[in-house]
Structure 1
């Protein structure tokens, strides 16, 4: 049977009509927070609704393990970011418009997580993923990604994956999950999206792994799974590199791969030189900069030096325009959180990683992780290091909502359900 994350059922029975109404409201809320149609600054209709419902949404946090510490740390980071903005030295300035946008966006991110956690008490996780994926797909029409040279890479891959893998999870068939992953990986190859291809391939390997019989003790199985995750990631990287260098995935991808290998010696630094800027700025000003900060010339030069150290030519306009033109964009969730909120932002990124890793290792070990959860977890791991916070937000919201686990097992769950609620099998 294919896995489906169990929903968190209400503790006491209520009127069936009211239950149906709550499910409808939960579905509408999930859809609303997924559609990123901005009304003012970073305020969307969904975020506005979440603000109104905040007392209801936040009240559900104690029902999930680590949710309260996560949100407390997020609050500390928010205060830290505002404090850094207020205390900004004269050496760099604060763009007030960018500051308002960043604060609203940041607060909206965690309110969205709370909204989906509340929805988990009313809906099946696969249903949440389908609705959220549909809303994200619609919101892609409001952005610039569809008009880019590669709409799959810049607009469609994540929402389509959420939608289709949500449907596959609801089907409870491993075969359906594998077919969807292979299809998504194939489309990623066609549209020259190497990181997506590798992520779908890694998720597929982990789906297949879970089909093996498990005879070890729980501790031994979890330990083996942790080793498997590292080994599978390394294998996908090495295999992908060989395929790209050999031209199997197209001449354009081959040429870009060879260029990046010549530049930095590996695809990670060659493809993401912004990591060099992040590390350089971390050494330049460890406490971060604050919401809305715009680097001065010395800061930009420090970032350029870090990128140059990776072999990247930083004098091409990209650094001045995209990365530091109107704010600080380090092309990394961890880097962006640090730049905006300081050291609490790094702690927050680490906590997010720990929540995701614990959930994935445990549930792969027990054979109960769906392709949906595996894709979200693998892609979140990539995003924490190599993707901007703004583009990583949909995945981040959904993975946190599905991996934060209930304090107690659902009272009506089947024996094959995992007791912490992250399990994808009923």
Structure 2
């Protein structure tokens, strides 16, 4: 997937900024940088709306029923951000596929109602989650066109930090379950610049060390991987842009495998604590893999897919046959499913497969898989392109890596805020468009 250039995209003015500046007399239009400073003529009121809306988006304050500020604010501002989405590669396709997935999910729910219970409350909550999610991405993309991306990042971090006051503290592991994500985003937002810097590597590794000491295995691996990708951008310039993009994809895969291997060894040797070591050893002995042992829900997902590849639908409640199929898939991984977890969490009122990819399939069927595939491909290519151009900040890389982890191992409800913020900061502006200046800058360093 590559960024494409269209005359319409190049001619779109920045909201509130007046007519777009003409191309340089000495540089053709297609060669104009895809990232420039936010125009000074954007109204102060517009900037304040952008800052406040982004903070409300990440605050997620509950309002009425399934409505939160993360849903209501971006949906209410749809007329404001809608036109900005055409300036970013893949954004309009993402919106269209989400709409199609919602229609498919509703049709599947109607079809499943003959054999399953369909909970209207769950149906409404998921529809709002999806609509609020794509609207939130659109809001962030628009915000990047009216204020510097560092301001967008700090506004998002402010909302996350304020949200800490709304959440009960989990005494089992406050860092892992409460503070890690918000404080990491805040710390990385404070050092966002146009180009990555060595200071970001130090910060990422320091937070990784804190995560390691607080039994946060996935956070530790994600932060180390992000630090390595920042380091990759600081290497000597030896390859062309196209080769660098391809090399970056290969490097990303190789580094991910190395981080997983090294992290597994550190965990099993006890460097992340005795409790983590014992739990991990038991998981490896049971399934042969730390990933499958730690996330046996994939056994259930595969078994359910084989039984019902068309999916279930939005708001559908699993019946006894579904639960037995899921348990058989988990038992194939040497996991004991008769411990209450399957009935009480995975199928306690709705189908929750602890994976964005699996959840999109169960609710939206094959179209959900197409949507997931588009999102994964768009995220990986956008990240590789930004890293290849040496303009991906530590925050963008961290969010992208965390989003990719949640696609495989995170439930859609808790992963949606991460997914929204990641895509909102990661998507690349079309060539020649004045947007996303701190995510992709094609000017020479």
Q: TM-score, normalised by structure 1?
A: 0.91
- Counterparts of 2:293 and 2:263, CA distance in 1: 15
Task: Say whether residues 1:88 and 2:112 are aligned partners.
Answer: yes
* Structure-2 change in CA distance of 1:303 and 1:423 (3 Å): farther
Structure 1 residues 123 and 17: alpha-carbon distance in aligned structure 2, compared to 1, 3 A threshold: closer
CA contact (8 A) 1:136 1:394 kept: no
Partner Cα separation in structure 2 for residue 126 and residue 37 of structure 1: 23
Deviation of 1:143 after TM superposition, in Å, equals: 3.4
| 2:132 aligned partner | 108
Residue 355 (1) aligns with residue 378 (2): yes
Whether the aligned pair in 2 keeps the contact of 1:369 and 1:424 (CA below 8 Å) is no
Distance in 2 separating the partners of 1:317 and 1:381: 28
Counterparts of residues 368-379 of structure 1 (less than 5 Å): 368-379=391-402
Cα distance in structure 1, aligned partners of 2:344 and 2:45: 48
Listed as ranges, the matches of 1:39-78 within 5 Å are 39-78=63-102
How many Å apart are 1:425 and its aligned residue? 9.4
Instruction: Supply the RMSD in Å over aligned alpha carbons.
Output: 2.3
Whole-Å separation in 2 of the counterparts to 1:81 and 1:399: 24
- Secondary structure at the aligned position of 2:43 is classed as helix
Matched, 1:242 2:293: no
Q: 1:374 to 1:17 in 2, by over 3 A?
A: closer
Q: For 1:16 and 1:243, how far apart are their aligned partners in 2?
A: 50
Q: Distance in 2 between matches of 1:425 and 1:302?
A: 56
Report if the CA contact (8 A) 2:389-2:440 is conserved.
Answer: no
How far residue 18 of structure 1 moved from its aligned partner, in angstroms, is 5.5
Instruction: Give the match for residue 3 of structure 1.
Output: none
- Structure 1 residue 270 displacement after superposition: 0.5
* 1:139 aligns to 2:158 (yes or no): no
The aligned residue for residue 35 of structure 1 is 59
Name the TM-score, length of structure 2 as normaliser.
0.88
Could you tell me how far 1:106 is from its partner in structure 2?
1.5
8 Å Cα contact 2:196-2:393 kept in structure 1:
no
Q: Which runs of 5+ in 2 are unaligned?
A: 1-11, 19-38
Aligned mates of 1:352, 1:153 — CA distance in 2: 26
Q: Which residue of 2 aligns with 1:253?
A: 276
**Counterpart residue number, 1:197:** 220
Stretch moving more, 42-51 or 298-307:
42-51
**Gap runs ≥5 in structure 1:** 1-7
Separation (CA, whole Å) in 1 of partners of 2:197 and 2:66: 39
In the alignment, what sits opposite 2:330?
307
Alpha-carbon deviation of 1:297? 0.2
Instruction: State the partner residue of 1:163.
Output: 186
Match of 1:232 in 2: 255
Q: Which whole-Å deviations, capped at 9, do the CAs of 1:208-262 have from their partners, x for residues lacking one? A: 1211112222232222221111110011011111111111221111111101110
Q: CA deviation at 1:89?
A: 3.7
**Contact 1:57–1:115 (CA under 8 A) maintained in structure 2:** yes
Q: Deviations over 1:93-127 (max 9, x none)?
A: 11111111111112111111111111111122222
Shift in alpha-carbon separation, 1:424–1:272, aligned structure 2, 3 A = farther
Deviates more, 1:403-412 or 1:358-367: 403-412
| 2:153 paired residue number | 129
